[in-house]
Chains A and B, each alone.
Chain A
Amino acid sequence: MTTTTAPAAGAVAPRQHAPADRPSLVRLTVVELRKLVDTRAGRWLLITIGLIAAAIVTLQLIYAKDADQTFVNFFTPSLLPVGVLLPVLGILSITSEWSQRTALTTYALVPRRERVVAAKLIAVVLTALASVLASLAIAAAGTLVAGATGGAGTWRVEAALIGNAVIFQVANVLMGAAFGLLLLNPPLAIVGYLLLPTLWSVLSELVRPLRGPAGWLDTSRTMEPLFTDHLTGGQWGRLAVSLLVWLVLPMAAGLVRTLRREVS
């Protein structure tokens, strides 16, 4: 008998073990949250979002009138740039699986694709909630500085405004995710997501008959009231209709497409 061994023998023996449990949704969500920040693209996108929000507050501290330097006035303007950029993270979370072809690994490990999609949606919603907390923190820092430098520094804020901010950010990231699910291609989904609402606005300005429907379908218009602390029933209705068209429908169609698509 020779005593030579095959290279690395032993370590690759197929082990007999009880069938392992399927990964829980919590576990999959943690994986998806990690995927959001473990690449340079994702990390810088998050850092950029934070920096822009901080820059807006800084500019207000320098240029806004002292009386306008209140918590609410620091908080609301930071929502818009975050609301535009955060959905890009949602789009990348879904589409990069296909563009980077990691879907081959992801869906081989979790063949029930709807569970991966659910984990991704939960992950981006959690990110949206965290972004509202970050906006609140930055606004609070701005208010503290304003109070110390002669600005108004008023803290009064309606809880409804914060609730509306949450709706705004969550709706935006889900809209991005829906576009990602539907188009499954990063540039296409990002351009589609950023361009379509603008296109609506331009078209409804140019074409008179579109002005009526635009009030129900142009998300940049239906979401505007969310920057205040009170929405009328009509405004809620318009918001719901626009989200049905731009969020629920693309997400349903995108889900069907993602579940059926061949992974290669």
Chain B
Amino acid sequence: MITVENLTKRYGPHPAVNDVSFHCEPGTVTGFLGPNGAGKSTTMRMITGLTAPTAGRATVAGRPYRELPNPGREVGVLLDASAQHAGRTGREALTLSAYTMGLDRREVAAKLDLVGLNAVAAKRRVRAYSLGMRQRLGLAQALLGDPRVLILDEPANGLDPEGIFWMRGLLRDFADRGGTVLLSSHLLREVEAVADRLVVIGGGRIVAQGDKNELLAGGGTLVRARDGAALRRALDAANLSAADGTDGLLVQADAETVGQAAADAGVALAELRPAGSGGLEQLFLTLTAGESTKEAVR
């Protein structure tokens, strides 16, 4: 299981990840959703100890990742399928990892077989791999140590529809047998089919999280005031996260809570209603529209 508490990463004055908290339980697949540059990868690198957080902490299997004695045996990590030495063969890349983890050499062949890389592909240099093959190799690497937790950044990138379907089955099966999966994507539809829980991040902040079915059905509350800035302050003061919708602010709370927050701050509302079933999708679309134009530069 994975616990993230108030993780924050700043690059100069720019917060790439801002006070992010969530946790992933065994037996579930958590979809980590957000547009490109929203802070998904930075958050995942902080969880796996590759980036030092500015503030906050993360634990995997109850311990900070850097304190795991042999992390590959507990956590399977795939952060970037292209991060392989172009001059090594697929089999060699896995052999190095297997030896580092102290695994039997037979695991290499077993996992290559599992992800559908045949003997011919395994003997080729990674330079000659397509992105889809690299994703499969990366997944084989993540599964190599028979971990209980999987952390995968955009694993569906470059996979064909058949490959995506196969991967969904694999992850679902892994979770159903008690594993914990955190997988990121910038496409809602891609994780909708496999995730139990969703964590939506935009501009470095979590804008929505919870059970997938509730999120997709609930959709939150749409609220609008003539003084939009005052409304946002009022929501912030009430600790309600709000995202810009097309015609107002989208809040992950019921109408009563939102109305009370506005009343407490003395903000006059122009509109207050349930956002409807397409709430998450709309939230996601507005996030994507707002953020993709200013992709975070690290």
Contacts and interface: CB of A to CB of B under 8 A. Distances in A.
Interface stretch (B86-94, B213-221, B257-265): B86-94
A20 B70 contact: yes
Given A7-B170, A35-B96, A262-B50, A23 B45 contact: no
A229 B144 CA distance: 52
A6 B170 contact: yes
Contacts of A9: 169, 173
A112 B97 contact: no
A20 B73 contact: yes
B148 interface: yes
B56 to A, nearest CB: 16
Interface residues of B, number: 53
Most chain A CB neighbours (cut-off 10 Å) among B93, B102, B141, B149: B102
A19 interface: yes
Interface in A27-53: 27-28, 30-31, 34-35, 38-41
Given A14-B179, A105-B83, A111 B174 contact: no
Contacts of A19: 69-70, 73-74
A111 B83 contact: no
B275 to A, nearest CB: 35
B102 to A, nearest CB: 6
Instruction: Determine the main DSSP class of A at the interface with B.
Output: loop
A12 B100 contact: no
A31 B173 contact: no
B138 to A, nearest CB: 9
Nearest to B166: A7
A115 to B, nearest CB: 11
Contact of A96 (B73, B85, B141, B147): B85
Interface residues of A, number: 44
Contacts of B71: 108-109, 111
A20 B177 CA distance: 21
Nearest to A39: B87
A23 B86 contact: no
Contacts of A101: 80, 82-84
Contact of B114 (A8, A38, A107): A8
A96 B80 CA distance: 16
B152 interface: no
A164 B66 CA distance: 41
Given A17-B73, A111-B71, A6 B102 contact: no
Nearest to B171: A12
B68 interface: yes
B170 A20 contact: no
A108 B48 contact: yes
B70 A6 contact: no
A57 B114 CA distance: 52
A149 interface: no
Given A23-B102, A100-B86, A262-B45, A31 B96 contact: yes
Given A6-B169, A6-B170, A102-B83, A27 B50 contact: no
Contact of B50 (A7, A13, A30, A104): A104
A12 B143 contact: yes
Given A20-B69, A22-B70, A11 B114 contact: yes
Contacts of B17: none
Residue of B51, B52, B87, B110 with most partner-chain A CB within 10 A:
B87
A156 interface: no
Contact of B102 (A12, A20, A34): A20
Contact of A38 (B80, B92, B146, B149): B92
Nearest to A22: B69
30 contacts: A6-B169, A7-B166, A8-B166, A8-B170, A11-B110, A13-B173, A13-B179, A14-B148, A15-B146, A16-B148, A23-B102, A27-B102, A30-B99, A34-B99, A35-B96, A38-B88, A96-B85, A100-B85, A101-B83, A101-B84, A104-B79, A105-B141, A108-B48, A108-B77, A108-B79, A109-B72, A111-B71, A262-B45, A263-B51, A264-B298
Given A34-B99, A39-B87, 18 more contacts: A6-B170, A6-B172, A20-B70, A20-B145, A23-B102, A38-B92, A40-B87, A41-B87, A100-B86, A100-B87, A101-B84, A104-B79, A104-B80, A104-B83, A108-B71, A108-B77, A262-B50, A262-B51
Ranked nearest first, the 5 interchain pairs of A and B with the lowest CB-CB distance are: A101-B83, A22-B69, A14-B179, A39-B87, A263-B50
Interface of A: 6-17, 19-23, 27-28, 30-31, 34-35, 38-41, 96, 100-105, 107-112, 260, 262-264
